[in-house]
Amino acid sequence: MGMKIIGLLGSPLVKGNTAKLLDQALRGAADAGCEVEKIVVPFLDFSPCMEIMYCKEHETCKMKDDMTPIYEKFRDVDSVIVATPVMTMGIPGKLKGFMDRFQVYFMAKFVRKQPLVAPEKKKHRRGLYIGISGMNLPYVFDGAKMTVQAFFQITDCKYWDELLIRDMDTIQDITMKPELIEMAYKKGYELGRLLFEENEAGTSAS
Binding site for ligand FMN (CB under 6 A): 11, 13, 16-19, 85-89, 132-135, 140, 168
**Which residue's CB is nearer to ligand FMN, number 94 or number 121?**
94
Give, in degrees to the nearest 5, the angle at Cα 126 between 19 and 130.
25
Between 164 and 205, name the residue whose CB sits nearer to ligand FMN: 164
Question: Smallest distance from the beta carbon of 164 to ligand FMN, in angstroms?
Answer: 11
Helices (H), 62-124: 67-76, 93-100, 103-106, 119-122
Q: Which is nearer to ligand FMN, 87 or 164 (CB)?
A: 87
Instruction: Identify whether the C-beta of residue 65 lies closer than 8 Å to the C-beta of residue 45.
Output: yes
Residue 92 beta carbon to ligand FMN: minimum distance, rounded to whole angstroms: 7
Nearer to ligand FMN, 87 or 150 (CB): 87
| Cβ at position 197, least distance to ligand FMN in Å | 31
Distance, in Å, from the CA atom of 194 to the CA atom of 32, rounded to the nearest integer, reads 9
Closest approach of ligand FMN to the CB of residue 112, in Å = 36
Contact (Cβ atoms closer than 8 angstroms) between residue 120 and residue 180 = no
**Which residues are within 8 A (CB) of 104 and not within 5 positions of it... i.e. 6 or more apart?**
55, 59, 60, 61, 71, 116
